[in-house]
Structure 1
Amino acid sequence: MNKLLTISILILGLLPLELSAQQRPQYTQYATNQFLLNPAIAGSQNMDEIKIGGRVQWIGFEDAPQTVFATYHAPFKKMPFQNTMNQRGHHGFGAILIKDITGPISQTSAHLNYAYHHPFTSNLSASVGASLGILQHTIDMDQLSFQNSNDVIIDRILPNRFIPDGSIGIWVYSDKFYFGASITQMISNTTMFLPTGEREVEVFDLEAHYFANIGYKFDIGQENSDWFLVPSVLFKSVRPSSGHVDFNIRAQKADNFWFGGSFRQDDSFSGLVGFSAMQDFAFTYSYDFIISDIGPYSGGSHELTMTFKFKKKQRKVICPDSFWL
């Protein structure tokens, strides 16, 4: 049997996030960019927001995962909060572009997002959201080598495929806490085939990814201090994995400066730091120290995000707080 390079087989079977199962890119800074995981956040603020970021994973490994992303979301048809029985909400829309590359395999995704936000009180709101988009899975055949390039099984590989994709989510938020749940990659489909043995072909199916997270804001320091603490937990699951948990904690001074740490179950410890300039621009950097079996061979993972915000005075959106963004 003519085989692809062993590394190619491993990469396709272990598309990044968790080595055991997950097929979506991994993020350390999701606690400050929840929109990547949950479409219900679109338009939650009284401003337009653009985030541009990138991640380089497992430094020291050839063909290790690399990810770049850009997100945008904003409110529209804004309504001020009304303390009556006819409380009126607002809508949000957004878009997400992601490019994820692991050796000869790449995934490009583009999604449009919609959310509806409803205020229950001046300090409590909830939203539901959905996204639709397309995934492009590609194998760069020029990066692969074969013992016999004339093997007919090579023709069974799908080097390029476009697949529909969708997500849904809910988001409950106040000036003190948030809770969210979402399902991504909902549309089950087959990405590509890969030879695995004599006259055998492996089929890789996309699986739905489930996320649930919760966080709480604690004011710290003296009275009227701008400092607060945000511990949070993220649960994520995808078949056949039984699920993984991330624990996070972040200390922040108003919207000006923040630092914190994270623990990703069976994978890594992470540290992050960020700052904001004039509330219009923010920069966040994080580093992952790998504790899994590949830790001794990896230089860790780096991730950075730049945020641009554009506030428009005529907009009136009830957002009790935005410490999760």
Structure 2
Amino acid sequence: MKNIQHKIGISLAILMCLSFQLRAQQSYRFSQFFQNAVTFNPAVSGTEEFVDLKIGYRQQWSGLDDAPQTYFISAHAPLGKKEKSYSFQNNSLRISDPSIYERLANARTLTKNRITHGVGGYLVSDQQGIFHQTNGMLTYALHYAVGKSVLSFGLGGGLNNRELDLDGVTVGNTEIPDETYQAYLAQQGKITNVDVTAGLFLRNENFYVGYSAKRLLENELFASIDEIEAKEEMEHYGMLGLRFNINNTLLVSPAAFVKYTASGSVLYDANVRVKYNELFWVGASYRSTETVIGMAGFTLNNLINLGYSYDLGIGEINDFRSGVHEIGLGFMLFNKKDTSPYLW
């Protein structure tokens, strides 16, 4: 009897997952969104003064078999003419606040060239049980100086592939409709669509704000199946962050990240981070799914940075929102100016 109930439960769970995938087709999500913003907004491409390479991993429901997990690799870099280097420090009077040299250099970098360009790309692999989604994209951004700020326009294009492990699905005699399963079966469990994204990003020394939209084409999921009408949902993302220099060594940055889909679902993160002496940082975040997140990271010789976060559900139903580990390893390649990451 228990075996029968177990099999029925598994079948129901599979059909519910299929239905969920059909309706929502949700994208991956990162707790450290600021570390990997190019995967959400192509306008971020080229905002750093070096090649920003990130490699990371996220695992949910730690300790369970076949738990959801996400792998990613991303990179972006500026394009354009090399700027002549000026030494403020060697050509000015001695002052009591040495950090002003870096602020002057950063301000000059942001506004020196009125128009600059950036390129990037990323590959994200998201595994959720019998579902596997891979998203690969190339990005481009044009940066235009507006006063002491820079406004960026970005575009991205690539492919989004979804696969259903048909070997892991068994559908027996049941009155529950399984049209979705049949549609996947007719396409050998694979769906591949062209993905297009666009975004805006405005930044200066004190704040940044961005908006982007993904899945602009809203592709039909089963174009050859007349019985099922299902499209990709367009996704909208918003980012906002402030930057406060408390003193020579402390930088405080509150930030928010919002995701909205065409079906009306809204998710948001709100966090605050403190960075000490450009060496290490700590932070805490709250997500609208009643989840709190602790995070920390460090930078080594302006070449390598590492970030880690842990999600903990605090609501009445939190089993599936707890035990989420996320780690990202970054490399600041060709960082000749020895600058620190703007989005850290």
Output the TM-score relative to the length of structure 1.
Answer: 0.83
Deviation for aligned residue 1:155: 4.5
Instruction: Verify: 1:323 aligned to 2:335, yes or no.
Output: no
Per-residue deviation, 1:6: 2.1
Instruction: State the shift of 1:88 in Å.
Output: 3.0
Q: Distance in 1 between matches of 2:307 and 2:27?
A: 21
8 A Cα contact 1:189 1:206, kept in partner: yes
Q: Distance in 1 between matches of 2:27 and 2:322?
A: 22
Indicate the SS of the match to 1:5.
helix
Aligned to 1:219: 245
- Which amino acid is the alignment partner of residue 251 of structure 1? V
Query: Would you say the 8 A contact 1:114–1:129 is kept in 2?
Result: yes
Q: Report the equivalent of 2:141.
A: 115
Distance change in 2, residues 1:63/1:292 (3 Å)? farther
1:35-54 map, 5 Å: 35-54=38-57
For 1:1-325, what aligned pairs fall within 5 Å after superposition? 5-15=11-21, 21=24, 23-78=26-81, 80=83, 88-121=114-147, 123-147=148-172, 155-157=182-184, 158=187, 159-192=189-222, 203-220=229-246, 223=247, 225-296=248-319, 299-311=322-334, 313=336, 322-325=341-344
What's the CA shift string for 1:123-170, capped at 9, x where partnerless?
421111010000111111111112169x99665323112100011001
The farther-off stretch of 165-174 and 205-214 is 205-214
Distance 1:191 1:63, change over 3 A: farther
Deviation per residue, 1:173-203 (Å, 9 max, x gap): 111110100001212113359xxxxxx9665
SS state at 1:9 partner: helix
Displacement of 1:21: 4.5
Amino acid in the other structure paired with 2:56: G
The 3-state SS of whatever aligns with 2:237 is strand
The structural deviation recorded for 1:3 is 11
Q: Distance in 2 between matches of 1:78 and 1:287?
A: 41
- Deviation, structure 1 residue 4: 8.1
- Measure the CA separation in 2 of the matches of 1:47 and 1:127: 17
Cα distance in 1 between the residues matched to 2:279 and 2:112: 36
Secondary structure at the counterpart of residue 93 of structure 1? strand
Shift of residue 268 of structure 1?
Answer: 0.8
Alignment RMSD (CA, Å):
3.3
Q: In the TM superposition, what is the alpha-carbon distance from 1:61 to its structure 2 partner?
A: 4.6
Q: How many pairs does the alignment contain? A: 305
> Which structure shows the higher helix fraction?
2
Amino acid at match of 1:103: G
Q: Does the CA-based 8 Å contact 1:22-1:238 persist in structure 2?
A: no
TM-score of the superposition, structure 2-length normalised?
0.79
Gaps of 5+ in 2: 1-7, 85-107
CA deviation string 1:94-144 (max 9, x = no partner): 1110100111111111100000112234x4211110100001111111111
CA distance in 2, matches of 1:211, 1:236: 5
Report the CA distance between 1:245 and its aligned residue: 2.2
Q: CA deviation at 1:235?
A: 1.9
Q: Would you tell me which structure has more strand in proportion to its own residues? A: 1
Mean alpha-carbon deviation: is it higher for 95-104 or for 157-166?
Answer: 157-166
Q: Could you tell me whether the CA contact under 8 Å between 1:79 and 1:89 is conserved in 2?
A: no
Corresponding letter in the other structure for 1:218: F
- 1:280/1:103 CA distance change after superposition, 3 Å: same
Between 1:241-250 and 1:157-166, the stretch displaced more is 241-250
Give the share of equivalent positions with the same residue, in percent: 27
Rg (Cα) greater in structure: 2
Listed as ranges, the gaps of 5+ residues in structure 1 are 194-199
In the TM superposition, residue 53 of structure 1 has moved relative to its aligned partner by: 0.4
CA contact (8 A) 2:11 2:170 kept: yes
Which has the larger displacement, 20-29 or 179-188?
20-29
Superposed CA deviations along residues 203-258 of structure 1, whole A, max 9, x for unmatched, are 542101111121111122xx4x2111100112210032342321110001243100
